[in-house]
Every structure is written in structure tokens, then in C-alpha cells.
Amino acid sequence: MVLKTVTVEDILAYLGDDVLTVFGSVADRVIDNITDVARVNERSLDWINPDKEDKQTLAEQSKSKVLLVDSSIIYSSALRQQDKVLIVTSNPKYSLARIGNEFFVEKTIPSIHPTAIVSKAARIGANVYIGPYCVIGDASIGDDCFIDSNVRIYDGVIIGARCNVKAGAVLGGSGFGFERDKDGNQFRFPQIGGVVIGDDVEIGANTCIDRGALSDTIIGDYTKINNLCHIAHNNRIGRNVTITGCVNISGSSIVEDNVWIAPNVSLRGFVHLHRGCVVGTGAVVTKDIPENETWVGNPARKLEKR
Amino acid sequence: MVLKTVTVEDILAYLGDDVLTVFGSVADRVIDNITDVARVNERSLDWINPDKEDKQTLAEQSKSKVLLVDSSIIYSSALRQQDKVLIVTSNPKYSLARIGNEFFVEKTIPSIHPTAIVSKAARIGANVYIGPYCVIGDASIGDDCFIDSNVRIYDGVIIGARCNVKAGAVLGGSGFGFERDKDGNQFRFPQIGGVVIGDDVEIGANTCIDRGALSDTIIGDYTKINNLCHIAHNNRIGRNVTITGCVNISGSSIVEDNVWIAPNVSLRGFVHLHRGCVVGTGAVVTKDIPENETWVGNPARKLEKR
Amino acid sequence: MVLKTVTVEDILAYLGDDVLTVFGSVADRVIDNITDVARVNERSLDWINPDKEDKQTLAEQSKSKVLLVDSSIIYSSALRQQDKVLIVTSNPKYSLARIGNEFFVEKTIPSIHPTAIVSKAARIGANVYIGPYCVIGDASIGDDCFIDSNVRIYDGVIIGARCNVKAGAVLGGSGFGFERDKDGNQFRFPQIGGVVIGDDVEIGANTCIDRGALSDTIIGDYTKINNLCHIAHNNRIGRNVTITGCVNISGSSIVEDNVWIAPNVSLRGFVHLHRGCVVGTGAVVTKDIPENETWVGNPARKLEKR
């Protein structure tokens, strides 16, 4: 459990306009952790989920003395008697996430580790971190990117700002395209496209994103890709797409904005997932999926509302 | 084929009380390999599976002169005429495994490779091997662990004794949890939990185990995880669990002791696999599985005995 | 987009006997790119797919001035008026692939990067490239191999000529085989076999191929394996097999020549895929598959022609 002493006043200052009201006495109050429900203690910053039916009771029974709540929680005599502080925001979990990122997540100092091998022709933005044992070709990496250890980035990869590339990821490797020679043996079709990654993208550990064959592989802004995914050549992935663990996106597919792809899904090549659709765990997608529909199964079919 | 000359006397001394009886003359007898059935030769140590119907014949026809057998094999005149040695134990395959590990598996000399980057705040136990190009943060690694090359271990990871972490594994990376900001764009929910791994655990090559968000990700003693698995944040995996290749365990699931998970299985988040259950190849688990049941398919359902 | 100026005369010289006829004036003509249909321009080398119904129109409307076509395209007045050059071959895509590989794919200069750690007992062929941060044991690597960065190759791995091993691959790690000791705890069964890889094999990024337990794991000539695949111990894979992304091949299976395995397929152990069969995306193979059949689904079943 990460322990850091933070004053409630500093929290309120950081949240700024997010704070609708504060109940209880703030002076000299501190918290030193945020943690899961089983470990919440007197010095935790806790939060109450607005969707819970028994949220008032949860607030009153929390071991924590400082709580993030929404405006449906009443500053009851029980809360008052325990001298609890309520920080009221419209979205307590969002506020908790902001506080956690600001006060409890270790910040890395931008730097290029001396063991990272970076091509002289690479364009590296401002405030970039590149970890040990990375190998980076003639690529472009935007400002404020974090590239973890043992990452391989090939020539022709363009990465936007504030991206997070986790350990062991491989970006821009040759796509998997082959022809047969006159003896029927396979040989590589040239893979000379690029990879273009937007801003605020996350790429998971040991995930692979192949370069395009003759066109580019494209990943849109705010898209988050988890560990051990394979994104094949020529895919075009939109903005704010969520690609969870072990997903395989075969070549030349289109995934529009705000699509949500559950773990271990596989897409056949050349399919088109329209905006906002959801693909369930382990689904095998062999056809296009219309906007906002949820598909599951092998082969994937529309999940009818029950 | 690994060749090492080992005397039968050394084998008997090593097996100790496991040996129930020995038939044939042991003096000056040696073996120099253990191998598969197709390659067994005069100098192999062979073993006879007690479950085979024709086990007596297999023993008599084996090209090997030294055999591990159970007590159901008779030291027949055929065996005698071939001057074969029978080493009788209650479990010949178990005895073979012990002999193989002792005499034929190369032992690594404990050491930390000079290219491994290990935080000064890391706690490294006795007799630990850490291979080339590892990057290890403020973690704790127990006695007699073997950490292969190119492994990334983050701050806050605790590993017990005698664990084997294979090449390219990533332990303790940030979990995959996101919130939406006021513009609807995804940003990371803080991932500040740890990873706690027991004793005698094996973690496969390029496998990823994420740190907890606010709690810990836990792996129990003797649990074996194969290559290319993704164990997401907040999972609690019990003891002696077998997780084979390419398995995806989504977040906040519970997997109890002695569960067996076949290749390419995916678990939806928040499911509970009870003690001793078995999940078949490629199954997509969307519900809790009761004790000792076998589930298969997409979605996974109980396999009824036929 | 990779830009390189190449004369049509050099292309014709390189293609040699592949060229059936040339229409139009070749003198002083150059191209400087090959690219996808959306980006084809005046200086592209384009190709016309012989299977397209409207291929004559496609040739006439292409923005490119130099086209690879088959003999069914007529050098019409429209083509003539645009001063287009047609290079006629029996298989235009094959010709394009050859040209792309020859003129547009960057060649790596054979070398062993100074940070690669290669055992003194390793046998490294002529014209081999070994990238940064590789760790290579007592293995044998054939002529003209390309081993990308962060690759781990263990003792006892034998690789043929002209193989391409992509970043982060792990070859020859211990297979996933365990016994239970007298307390019911799992411990490793010795994994002392090898890995034998043929000529012209491709192994994808972060793919893992385990050594055999007592026998060898075998991969045949011209077989192509994509990223993030797990090939377990004792598998025997034939020639010209295509194993696409995220495929799991469990132990002791046999995959014959020219089998095609779609993404995210998983094979149960001990199955036999006969020559030329096709396994569809996400299929879970639990039984042997006869020659030339196509199987899909979970569990996989024969796909009947519709």
C-alpha cells in the first residue's frame, strides 16, 4: 500500500471546481492512502459509489474519516458524530482517480536511459521517458511520452503526445503477408507501410502492432490497448477504443470510435466494427458489427436484450 | 539429446527410500540419457508406465538396459536373459522426473548478470539468478529464485522462494483501468496496488501479471503459469493452480487451489473458480464454476459425463 | 511512404523471364513508390488484380503510369493515350512482391550487435544479423538469418538458413510439464529436448517456442509463424505451414505441410492436423482434422460447403 501524507486542503485545492460542497472541519485533516474496501482505515481517503442502494450506510460505516461522495449523501448526525469530512463532487470515482494520479502515482522524470538505443534520425519530443534496453529506429515520438523498458520501435512509426508504451511492446514490425513462389513456397510480401499512433494512447506490455503492408496501421487518440494484443497490418482503429487483454485484430479491419473489445476477442480480417459497438469476451468476429450493438460468441452474433 | 554418464548406484543413492526393490546386477552399470520412446537406446534410462496394459511386454522389448518400473512388473526370464536392471518404485514417472532434474538438467550458478538493472531498494534473497537485460524496481525476490533474461519487475512486486520467471515476463505493470474525463476521453484510474507471488511459482515467457489497482494481485504457492498469459489486476489465484498457455484472466477474479485451466481460456472479470475445477481449451468463462466441475465451450458450460 | 527512384529498365532487368511483354515506351521512365490503392500517384508502380471483373477499367483509371498486369489486359487506346507502360507477367502480385522486396525493403547489414550476448559455444552461420539485447545460448543459427532485438534463444536450439526471428521471441524455453510430489505439489518434469527449426522460417514478435521434454520440438521449412504464438513442447510442425497471430499449439501435436491456421486458434494437445487443412479464426481444435478439410468453431467442426 502506497503511503503519502496529503492534507485535505491540498486535495480541495487540486480538485478546484469539481468540489460542490464540503461538510465537516477541514483544518489540519490529512489522509495517507487510497485503497480497496477491505483495507480502508482511519487515514484512507474513501469514496462512496452513487449507484449503491445502501450508500448512506456505507458512508456512515466506512472506517475512513474523509470521503468523496456525491450530493445524494446527507451529512447525517452519524457522520457528524464521527467527525467525518465529506467532499461532495458530481462524480466521486472520477475525483478519486484524479487525486490518486496526482498524489499517489510515482512520476517518472523524463530521460532517455543510457542503455536505450535510439536512432540518430529519430525525432524525440520534449519530456519523453525512454527506459532501459529499448531499441528505437527512425521513428517519431511525441511530447510527454513514456516508453518503458525492452520496447522495440521500428523505422517509420509515428507516436503522438502523452502515449504510454509498456514493457516489451513491439511497434512497427513487418506485417504477416506472404506470397507463394513458383515452387509453392511462402515468401514475404513487402511490408513497407508505417504505424501512426495518436495522442494519449496506451499500449500494453508485450503487445505487437505491425506496420502496414503498403498503407499505414492507424491507432486513434485516447485508445487504450492492454497487454499481449496483436494488431495486424493495415488496421484502422478509431478514438477512445478500448482493446483489452489478448485481443487479436487481423489485418485491414476498421474499428470505429468508442468500440469496446473484451478480452481474447479475435477479429477476422477485413471486418468493420461500427461506432460504439461492444464485443464480448472470447468472441470471434467474422462479420461487420453495426453501431452500438453488442455481439458475443463463436461465431459472434448479436446479443439480444433479455 | 543431453548425454551424461550416470552410474546406477548414484541413481539408487539419490532415489533413496523411493526404491522398493532392484532386480539385476547393478555393479558398474551406467546410463547416459533419458529420452523419448522413439530414441531409447542401450544406454537410456527408460520407464514403464504402470497404466499400460502391455507393460510387461514393453519392459521386455525396451532397447534400454535399465528401467524404472512399478512392482507389477515381473523380473521374467526374458528380462533376466537381457541382463536388464529393474529399479522398482511406487511411481516410476515421478522417479524419472527426479532423476532427470538431478542429473540431466543444467543448474544455473546463482548470480546477477552485470547488465541486469536492479534498484538499490530491491531486496534480493540468497542464491538468486537474475539474467541479462532484466530491469527490476523496488521489488522483493525470495531465495533461490531464477529470473531469466529481459524480465521487467516493477516496484512493489513481492516474489517468494524458488520461483522461476521466464524470459520476457512483465510483473507488476499498471493494470488496465480507466475513467472518462468530462470530454468523454479515457484516462488511467490509478494503479497503485502490488503483486504478491508465493513460493515455487513458475511464470512463463512473455507472460504479464499486472499490479492491483487499489488492492494486490495474488498468486499462490506452487502455481504454474505458462507462456503468454495475461493475469489482470486484483486477481487472486490460489495454490497449485495450473494456468496453461495464452490464458487471459480478467480483473478481480478468484481462482481457488488446484484449478486447472487449459490453453487459451478467457475468464470474464469478477468470476470465481472454485477448488479443483477444470476449464477446457478455449473456454470462455462468464460465470462462477463450482468445485471439481469441468466446464467447456463459449460460453463455458458444465461438461456432463458421458 | 518509402520513396526510391527506380527505372523501369532496372525493374525489367530484375524480373527477367517473368516478363511476358511490355507495352509502351520504357526509355527514361521511372517509378518512385509502391503503395495502396488510395495513395497511388503518377510515380507509383501499380498492379491490376487479374481476378477483378473491371480490371481493364482499373488499369485505364489508375493514376499510375506504370502497371503490372497479366495478359488479359488489352493495351487499349485509353492506355496508349495516357502514355502508360504495361509490364505483363503471369502473376502481377507476385512480380510486385519481388520488386518491393528488391528495391523498397531496407536490407540489414549482417552483424552481431555488440550488446548481443552470444555463447562462445554457439554456432553462427555466415551473413547473420543478431540485434541488440539478444541472449543466445549454445545454439546453432544458419546462414543469412535475421535475429531481431531482445530475442532469447536457449541452449540446444538449431535454426536453419534464412530464418527471420522477430523482436522479443523466446526459442527453446523449458516446456510446461509438471509432476506432483508426495505432498501433491507440482514440480517440473525435466525438459531436456531441443528445438529444430528448418530453413526460411519466420517467427513472430514475442512468440514462444518451447523445447521438447525428452524429444524435440520441430518446425519445418518455409513455415511462417506470426506474433504472440505459443508453440508448446514436442510439437512437430511441417513445411509451408501458416500459423497466424495469437495461436496456441499445445504439446505433442502434429501439424502437416501446408496447413493454414487462422488467428487465435487453439489446439488441444496430441491432435493431428493433416496436410492442407484449414482452421478458422478462434477455432478450438479437440480432434484430428483430415486432409484439406476446413474446420471452425468451439469445439471445431468441419465447415460444410454451402
In the sheet that C19-23 helps form, which strands lie side by side, from edge to edge?
C19-23, C85-89, C66-69, C45-47
For position C306, what pLDDT does the model report? 64
Report pLDDT digits (tens) over C94-128.
999 999 999 999 889 999 999 999 999 999 999 99
Write the pLDDT tens digit of every residue in A95-119.
999 999 999 998 889 999 999 999 9
Q: Quick check: B206 and C178 CB within 8 A?
A: no
Residue A289, C-alpha cell as written in the block:
458489427
A281 interfaces chain C, CB cutoff of 8 Å: no
Chain B residues inside the 8 Å CB shell of C117: 115, 132
Shortest Cα–Cα distance, C240 to chain B (Å)? 24
Q: Which pTM was predicted?
A: 0.96
Distance, CA of C232 to CA of C283 (rounded, Å): 18
Mean pLDDT across C283-289: 98
Quickly state the pLDDT bin for C145 (edges 50, 70, 90).
Answer: very high
Per CB-CB distance under 8 Å, the chain C contacts of A229 are: 228
Does C303 reach chain A within 8 Å, measured CB to CB? no
Interface of A with B in 118-157 (CB under 8 A): 131-133, 148-150
- Name residue, grid cell 514440480: C187
**pLDDT (tens place) for every residue of chain B, 306 residues total:** 889 999 999 999 999 999 999 999 999 999 999 999 999 999 999 999 999 999 999 999 999 999 999 999 999 999 999 999 999 999 999 999 999 999 999 889 999 999 999 999 999 999 999 999 999 999 999 999 999 999 999 999 999 999 999 999 999 999 999 999 999 999 999 999 999 999 999 999 999 999 999 999 999 999 999 999 999 999 999 999 999 999 999 999 999 999 999 999 999 999 999 999 999 999 999 999 999 999 999 999 999 876
Nearest residue in B to A284, CA atom: B298
Whether B150 and C168 lie within 8 Å, measured CB to CB: yes
Say whether A178 and C228 touch across the interface (CB within 8 A). Answer: no
- In CATH terms, the superfamily for domain C6-104 is MurE/MurF, N-terminal domain (3.40.1390.10)
pLDDT at res. A1:
82
d(CA A245, CA A266): 11
**Smallest Cα distance from A82 to chain B, Å:** 25
Nearest CA in chain C to A189: C97
CA distance C8 to chain B (A): 46
Query: What average pLDDT does this structure show over C72-101?
Result: 97
ipTM value of the model? 0.95
Contact B245 C248 (CB under 8 A): yes
Tell me if chain B has a CB within 8 Å of the CB of C281: no
Contact B101 C188 (CB under 8 A): yes
Query: From the list A105, A168, A226, which residue is nearest B176 (CB)?
Result: A226
C68 confidence band (pLDDT: 50, 70, 90): very high
pLDDT at residue number A306: 63
Asked if residues A192 and C97 have their Cβ atoms less than 8 Å apart, the reply is no
CB contact under 8 A, C94 and A179: yes
Please confirm, yes or no, whether A113 is among the known catalytic residues.
no
Residues 6+ away with beta carbon under 8 Å from C291: C274, C275, C276, C277
User: Is the Cβ pair C221, A192 closer than 8 Å?
Assistant: no
8 Å CB contact between A247 and A229: yes
- Nearest-CA distance from C229 to chain B in Å? 8
How many other CB atoms are found less than 10 A from the CB of residue A131? 23
pLDDT computed for residue C1 by the predictor: 82
Residues of A in contact with B262 (CB under 8 A): none
| Residues of chain B contacting residue A168, judged by C-beta atoms under 8 Å apart | 150, 152, 168, 170, 206
Q: Is the pLDDT of residue C65 over 90?
A: yes
Chain C contact for A114 (CB, 8 A cutoff): no
Q: Compute the count of residue pairs across chains A and C with CB atoms less than 8 Å apart.
A: 152
Residues of chain B neighbouring C176 (CB-CB closer than 8 A): 204, 224, 226-227, 244-245
Domain boundaries, chain A: 6-104, 111-302
Cα–Cα distance, C224 to A189 (Å, whole number): 12
SS3 B236: strand
Non-local (6+) Cβ contacts of A96 within 8 A are A34, A45, A47, A68
* Tens of pLDDT, residues C211-269: 999 999 999 999 999 999 999 999 999 999 999 999 999 999 999 999 999 999 999 99
Q: How many CB pairs under 8 A join A and B?
A: 153
* Residue C138 Cα, gap to closest chain A Cα (Å): 23
Report DSSP letters for chain A, one per residue. Answer: -----EEHHHHHHHHGGGEEEEES--TT-EE-B---GGG--TTBEEE--TT-TTHHHHHHH-S-SEEEE-TTS---HHHHHTT-EEEEES-HHHHHHHHIIIIISPPPPPEE-TT-EE-TT-EE-TT-EE-TT-EE-S-EE-TT-EE-TT-EE-TTEEE-TT-EE-TT-EEEEPP--EEE-TTS-EEEPP----EEE-SS-EE-TT-EEEPPSSS-EEE-TT-EE-TT-EE-TT-EE-SS-EE-TT-EE-TT-EE-TT-EE-TT-EE-TT-EE-TT-EE-TT-EE-S-B-TT-EEETTTTEE----
Class of A111-302 in CATH? mainly beta
Chains contacting chain B through 3 or more C-beta pairs under 8 A: A, C
Residue among A132, A167, A244 minimizing CB distance to B170: A167
Give the gap in angstroms from C-alpha A214 to the nearest C-alpha of chain C.
5
* DSSP β-ladder status, B248-249 and A186-188: unpaired
Q: Which residues of chain C neighbour B204 with C-beta distances below 8 Å?
A: 173, 176, 208
| Residues 50-79 in A contacting B (C-alpha not used; CB under 8 Å) | none
**Chain C interface includes A178 (CB < 8 A):** yes
Considering chain C, what is the average pLDDT of its residues?
97
- Tell me if A73 sits within 8 A of A48, measured CB to CB: yes
Q: Which residues of C touch A268 (CB under 8 A)?
A: 262-263, 281
Residues of A in contact with B229 (CB under 8 A): 228
pLDDT along chain A (306 residues), means of 10: 94 97 95 95 97 96 97 97 97 96 94 98 98 98 98 97 98 95 93 97 98 96 98 97 98 97 97 98 98 98 86
The closest CB to that of A215, out of C39, C202, C240, belongs to C39
Does the beta carbon of B168 lie under 8 angstroms from any beta carbon of chain C? yes
Suggest the residue from B176, B183, B252 to mutate for an interface test with chain A (most A CBs closer than 10 A): B176
